[in-house]
Amino acid sequence: MNDIIPFSIIIPFKIWSTDLDECLSHIDQMAFKSYEVILLPDDDITLPTAYTHLPIQIISTGAVSPAIKRDIGAEKAKGDYLAFIDDDAYPQSDWLDVAHRFLSTQSNVGAIGGPAITPKSDAFWARVSGAVFLSKVSGGFPERYVSISPSKEVDDWPSVNLIVRKEVFLQVGGYDSDFWPGEDTKLCRDIIMTGWKIIYIPELIVHHHRRAKLHKHLRQIGNYGYHRGFFAKHYPENSRKLTYFIPTFFVIFIIIGTLGSFFSKSIQLVFMAGLLAYGFALLKALWDIKRHEDWRVTLCSPFYIVLTHVWYGIRFIKGFFAKSYHGSLGR
């Protein structure tokens, strides 16, 4: 392997899995070959013979957060660009080609991100989980989960598909290990605060497996809500958009409307009108979802959407009023 390479692909994980097998097999199939892979498991592992021909470095880290693992990987990386991907995701074959074409011509861009698309091979309820995010109405940012043109400047992007210039990463001090989830939001906030741009590129595609069970979906959503609520108060530069507050407003509306309807006919009428408007919003979400999923997944998604909005909103409130951040290492 050459000492100078464009990309260091950094993959934090706990233990070896079939998802990681899939990720590495797709990395092996990429057209762009000038890269290294840095694997960061909790404990020592033996690399399967199927991947011994790849330029892989294994660094066992102990049971630490993904933020710490990624920082360790970045410290050891030889590449000019740090390509972050999760172990339960895998890249499209032209992933690094797209990245290299863009980054080599845009010197003022500190990082790029692209969509993390739910694989069609995922289990049914995992696809329902992914469908929640396919509409602005239900998920807020569908470009994070499906390829939507055009490219644009963004201020936050998930680490499942994020590529950062190493010099920029080191300049801002890498990930903040005090946060997980939320370490990628903090990193992106630090990048834009130092004057660098982050660009969304719809062709920069990875595929990302979703949670196959409702309680795992809600655990993930709850973590999202908690971290965003905390950041909205303490790091507002990229976390104080109206979109992030809407689920909380919905929860407050439900509570006040339900209680108020017992005491006032007028409140009851306003409450019913609000629920009707929410119903029409769900129909718009279904229309958007149907463009990307089959009718069975689409028809099952409203149940997930409502629970997602309610639980995110509740956890956002808890995060907003938390005096200190309490993250989670679980999935």
Same domain, 222 and 194: no
Concatenating the DSSP letter of every residue in 208-265 gives EPPPSSHHHHHHHHHHHHHHHHHHHHH-GGGT--HHHHHHHHHHHHHHHHHHHTTT-H
Residue 122 identity (one-letter amino acid): D
Residue 321: half-sphere exposure toward Cβ, Cα within 13 Å = 6
Within a domain: 294:
yes
Which pLDDT tens digit goes with each residue over 144-194? 999 999 999 999 999 999 999 999 999 999 998 777 778 999 999 999 999
Same domain, 47 and 147: yes
Provide the pLDDT confidence category of residue 327 given band limits of 50, 70 and 90.
low
Tell whether the model's pLDDT for residue 307 goes beyond 70. Answer: yes
Of the listed ranges 9-18, 203-212, 302-311, 319-328, the one predicted with least confidence? 319-328
Same domain, 168 and 105: yes
The pLDDT value given to residue 329: 52
Same domain, 187 and 248: no
The pLDDT value given to residue 2: 46
Same domain, 201 and 224: no
Within a domain: 326:
no
b/e burial code for range 172-192 (CB count within 10 A of at least 16 → b): bebbbbebbbbbbbbbbbbbb
* Tally of domains in the chain: 2
From 212, 242, 268, the end of a domain falls on 212
Tell whether the model's pLDDT for residue 330 goes beyond 70. Answer: no
Percent of the chain exceeding pLDDT 70 equals 98
Residue ranges making up the domain that contains 291: 218-321
The pLDDT value given to residue 27: 98
Which pLDDT tens digit goes with each residue over 55-111? 999 999 999 999 999 999 999 999 999 999 999 999 999 999 999 999 999 999 999
Within a domain: 329:
no
Provide the pLDDT confidence category of residue 210 given band limits of 50, 70 and 90.
very high
Tell whether the model's pLDDT for residue 37 goes beyond 90. Answer: yes
Same domain, 186 and 283: no
CA distance to 69, 112, 169, per residue, from 174 (Å): 11, 15, 5
The pLDDT value given to residue 324: 86
Within a domain: 328:
no
Within a domain: 46:
yes
Same domain, 20 and 41: yes
The pLDDT value given to residue 179: 73
Burial class (CB in 10 A: 0-12, 13-18, 19+), 120: exposed
H helices present in the chain, as ranges: 18-28, 66-76, 95-103, 124-131, 166-171, 183-193, 214-234, 242-260, 265-290, 295-321
What are the two backbone dihedrals, phi and then psi, of residue 35, each rounded to the nearest 5 degrees?
A: -155, 170
Percent of the chain exceeding pLDDT 90 equals 93
Tell whether the model's pLDDT for residue 221 goes beyond 50. Answer: yes
From 171, 191, 212, the end of a domain falls on 212
Give the residue from 243, 161, 159, 160 showing the smallest Cα distance to 201.
161
Within a domain: 327:
no
Q: d(Cα 303, Cα 296) in Å, to the nearest integer?
A: 13
Mean pLDDT estimate for the chain: 95
From 183, 212, 241, the end of a domain falls on 212
pTM above 0.85, yes or no: yes
Same domain, 97 and 141: yes
Mean pLDDT of 40-50: 95
Per the model's pLDDT, the better-predicted residue between 329 and 73 turns out to be: 73
Contact 162, 109 (CB under 8 A): no
Of the listed ranges 110-114, 116-120, 175-179, 207-211, the one predicted with least confidence? 175-179
The pLDDT value given to residue 18: 96
Same domain, 251 and 192: no
Q: If you ran DSSP here, which 8-state letter would residue 144 be given?
A: G
Strand order in the sheet with 89-91: 89-91, 206-208, 116-117
Same domain, 194 and 278: no
Same domain, 208 and 227: no
Within a domain: 330:
no
The pLDDT value given to residue 6: 97
Within a domain: 274:
yes
Same domain, 205 and 236: no
Provide the pLDDT confidence category of residue 1 given band limits of 50, 70 and 90.
very low
Q: Residue 43: give its domain's CATH number.
A: 3.90.550.10
Joined together, the tokens standing for residue 13 give: 């994980």
b/e burial code for range 270-290 (CB count within 10 A of at least 16 → b): bbeeeeeebeebbeebbebbb
Give the residue from 100, 157, 138 showing the smallest Cα distance to 243.
138
b/e burial code for range 96-107 (CB count within 10 A of at least 16 → b): bebbbebbeeee
Of the listed ranges 10-19, 169-178, 260-269, the one predicted with least confidence? 169-178
